[in-house]
Each structure stands twice: as C-alpha cells, then as structure tokens.
Chain A
Amino acid sequence: MSECKRISGLFCELHEEHVDGETETVVWKHLGSCPGCREDFKWYGITVRALTNLERVTPPRDFVAQLNARLHDTRSHSFVEFFRNIFSAAPYVPLPVGVSALALVVVTGFVFYNYPTTEMIPSTASSQSFYVPGTRPGSDPRIAAKGVGPVQPQQMQVSTLMPASETTSSSPAGHLPLLSKSTPDSLGNNIETVSRNFPTIADRIGADNLTVESPSIDKAIESLKRILPNIQGRLVDEKNPGQVGEVVVGVMIPSDAYGNLTTELINHGAVAAGMNESEAKALSPAKKDGNNVLLYIRFVRTR
C-alpha cells in the first residue's frame, strides 16, 4: 500500500519524464505488476490531457472597446487619482530614505507638539491684556503671567474657555472673583475642565514666574489664601522684595496641584508681559521637595 502511495506520488514527474533512469525502472516495474496503480496512472494521463486540451475561450469582439471605455472612465477620475497617487509617483524610494523621512516627520511632530503655543506668538506682541468677560476692564482684577527663561512674551485667550455663567459672576471680595466664589467641588470641576482643555500652558509658565496683577494686593492675597486649603496647599512665606506695592508670596502645594493652581490663576484672566532675567533671579525659584512644590507668586498693583 505504501509502495502504491509512493508510486502515485511520482505520477507527475513520471508523466513529465522528470524521473531518473533508476526510479523510472522501479516505477514501471511496479505499474506492470499493480493493476490499480496502472489504472490510476492511465487516468492521470487522461486528466492532464483533458486539462491541456481545454479549448481556449475567445473574448467578446468588443472586448478592447469595452476596455478602452473603462480606462477612459478611470482617467476621468484623474483628479481623485492625483491625490490617491500623490505618494506613489516614486513608490520604490530606497528604504533608508523612506525611514529617514518618516523619522523626520515624527521628530518634527513631537517638537511642534511639545512647543508651547505661547512661544509661537511673535515677540512683537509684548503685552496683551485679557479681561474676565462681564467685568469692567481696569477696575477688575487681572492675573498676570510673566515669562522668564524660555518663556517669551505670551498671550492667552483663556476667557473663551470659561462658561458664560461663570464668567459673568463676580467675587464677594471683588478680587479673583471666581476663585473666591467657587465651592471646592465646582472649583475642582472647573479646574479639571480647564486642565483638560489647556494641559500644558500652566506647566510651561514655570513655578517661579507667576505674577498676579491686582488693584488691591491685600485682597488678592486673601483670595489666594482661600484657594490653598482646597488644593492642600499652605502659605510658607510672604516678603516684600523692595518695590513699593509689590509682595511675593511663597506657597507650598502638592506637585500635582501645581497645574491646577496655575491654571486657576490663568483661568481668571491673564496678562502677558516680559520680565528680564535679573528680575527673575531676584525672586526665589520654586523648589521641588518630594511631592511638594514651593511656588513664589509676585503680586503687583495694577498699572
């Protein structure tokens, strides 16, 4: 039986005369003695002949005309095809070139992704003010974020992120209106919404370059103090660097609350203004202490 299987496995070679002399002798000897295999081989030959003798079917007479019409249709979609084939004009770009191009695209993408949007504003926009909607410019408090280090003069239209109902409310104290009015829950929601929408700007401002501009510094500091318990922060320092009407407050806050605090400050209006390096160095830089961040905020009187 196994011999018959082995022989039938050689039918193809035998039929096409691709077996060597010795094997051929063995196969023919077997076929001579095994009527089953002989019959199978005969049918194998008939099958191959039946397949090779299949008549050639002829295409319809108008095949070429139909094809031309189809190709014409295809060409009429050339505008779409242009965009489809825009990258296939040179489909066999060498692999290293392709990989390098891809890497370049990825790196460029990352660079742009990590580049703060504020840095893309031309440096000529030296100072821009944004007021909380519904409040009177000039009389209402503003929070100013001043750039130092890598941060250039910036502008932030933060008020557009705020819901209308919130933006029109005013503070009981008249300073940092939303901060003082918000309950911890609504404050948390507000912070979270803003953080989601505006995740990186607060971080990029830096811990040591926040300046809050207010007509009444004392009231603004009071408002800040009210926020601190909500984010498990505390006041650690309060000093006057020498300028009249200017107070620097040091707050210790959990590092994960840093983004929330800065976002909250920005959320209530922001002013972009420059600060020179010596001025920035004069202020103590923020220090990271395990999970806490020491953040210095400068309060200045509205100009």
Chain B
Amino acid sequence: MVAFPETILNCLCLNMISLFLFSAFKPETDEDREIVDRCVRGDRGAFDVLVEKYYKKIYNLAYRFVGDSEEANDLAQEVFTAAYQNLKKFRGDAKFSTWLFQIATNRGKNRFKYLKRRGYFANKGPTNGEEDRESLQRAIPDLSTNPETILAGKQIQKIVQDAINDLDADHKEIVILRDIEGFSYEEIARILNLPEGTTKSRLHRARMVVKEKLKKALS
C-alpha cells in the first residue's frame, strides 16, 4: 500500500477545517434581501411582496401595543410607510424582518406612550368591576380541568390584553415580542438593541406583573 504524502494530507485537513469555520461563521442569510434590493431599485411590486408577507404579523403586533383595531390599523400602515420611505437606509446588517420589527416596535412603543398620556387606556378601563369578575368566575368553572380552552375564552383574552396595556412600554414590548410574536431572545436583543440578560430579566418582571393581574382577576 502506497503511503499518502503527509503534506497533501495536512493540506486536506487544513482545507476541511477552514471550510468548517467558514460555514460556522457565515453571516445569516436574509431571504428578503433580494426583494429589498429590487425595491430599492424602484420596483414597486417588490414592496407589495414584502407587505403581503409581513402585514398580518405587523398588524398583530400593533394591535397588542394599542389594544384597538382602528389604532392598530393606522399604526401598522404607518410602520409600512416608514419602512418604504427608509428602505434606502436599510444596510442589511440584520435581516429585513428584524429591521421591520424594529420599526414596528419603536413606533408601537411611541404610539402606546402617546395614547397613555392622553388617557386612552384609562377610558377603556380594565375589567375590575365586581359584576365582571362574577361573570368571569362563572365562565371559568375550574381552571385546572382544561386551562387551554379557558385561556382561549374571550373574557380571559380581554383580561390579558388589559394586563398588557397596564405594563410600561419597556416591559410591554418584550412580552409582545417574546410571548405573542414568538421571537427568540437573540432576535429580541437585536430588535431592541439590548443585552440578552436584560431582555430575560425584563420579560420575567413583565410576566410576574401580568401573572398578578390574572391571578387577581381569576381567583
């Protein structure tokens, strides 16, 4: 058997290592990048593709921020308009979706603060009344039997949304991004430009606040 030259073997090994490293550190690919490029070049139809892809998610996020369908509609449209106007500024350092949700979160947070200052949420009011609570408790016979069904109920949904509305903007955005939109901690950290540790601790505090409200309403 002929011995394989040692230098060639070494070269092969080095090549394999470099290939592995290259694949490991290759930047995250953005599936929307090409569409965004087309859009920047003036292809209006390309932006429609992006709208079609994200408008439901953005609307949902907007709704959770403001808790009202009309406001959410206006906010979501504002987000897309801002994205369209600033598309040239998108550098592609992060994924397009991250950038879009960054705009949505910032705008949502600002709109929420604006509405809160104007007493918008106070006028709507959470279901604190004794009557509401009684009807709620009648609607929830036993929480331990089938919690999923109960949690899907309209009234519970309202309690949870009210609890979210009561959160301050910094906690609210994290709850929305993590628990409602299902982003990973890494993505949230990127969207909010925060360390992951801060994201986790804020999320925990926000959940504890919502938990207390839920417990108070359902107990």
* Given known contacts A55-B157, A59-B56, A47 and B152 CB-to-CB distance under 8 angstroms: no
Instruction: Give residues of chain A (39-55) contacting chain B, Cβ–Cβ below 8 Å.
Output: 40, 43-44, 46-55
Question: Does the CB pair A67–B80 fall under 8 Å?
Answer: yes
A60 to B160, alpha carbons, bound, how many Å? 22
Instruction: Choose from A11, A54, A59, A70 the contact partner of B59 (Cβ within 8 Å).
Output: A59
B80 touches A52 (CB 8 A): no
Complex Cα gap A173–B161 (Å):
93
Chain B: which residue is nearest A53 at the CB level?
B151
Query: Given contacts A52-B179, A57-B72, is CB(A47)–CB(B211) below 8 Å?
Result: yes
With both chains docked as a complex, state the minimum distance between the C-beta of A282 and any C-beta of chain B, in angstroms: 66
A68 proximity list for chain B (CB < 8 A) = 48
Q: Which residues of B contact A55 (CB under 8 A)?
A: 152, 157
Asked if B147 and A48 sit within 8 Å, CB to CB, the answer is: no
B69 in complex: contacting residue of A13, A57, A81, CB < 8 Å: A57
Of B5-13, B18-26, B201-209, the one contacting chain A is B201-209
> Cβ of A53 and Cβ of B152 under 8 Å apart?
yes
Stretch at the interface among A85-93, A163-171, A227-235: A85-93
Cα distance A172–B180 in the bound complex, in angstroms: 93
Cα–Cα distance between A50 and B163 once the two chains are bound (Å): 11
Q: Does A34 sit at the interface, judged by CB under 8 A?
A: no
B210→A51 contact, CB < 8 A:
yes
User: A51 and B175 in contact (CB under 8 A), knowing A12-B200, A12-B204, A43-B215?
Assistant: yes
Q: Are B214 and A71 in contact (CB under 8 A)?
A: no
A91 contacts B60, C-beta separation under 8 Å: no
Residues 72-114 of chain B: 1 if any A CB is under 8 Å from the residue's CB, otherwise 0?
1100110011001100110100000000000000000000000
The answer, among B56, B64, B208, for a CB contact under 8 Å with A44, is: B208
The 3 closest A-B pairs by CB, nearest first: A51-B179, A59-B59, A47-B211
Q: Spell out A's residues near B (CB within 8 Å).
A: 8-9, 11-13, 40, 43-44, 46-60, 63-64, 66-68, 70-71, 74, 81, 85, 88-89, 91-92
List 7 additional contacts besides A46-B214, A81-B85; criterion CB under 8 Å. Answer: A12-B207, A50-B214, A57-B60, A60-B73, A66-B73, A67-B81, A92-B91
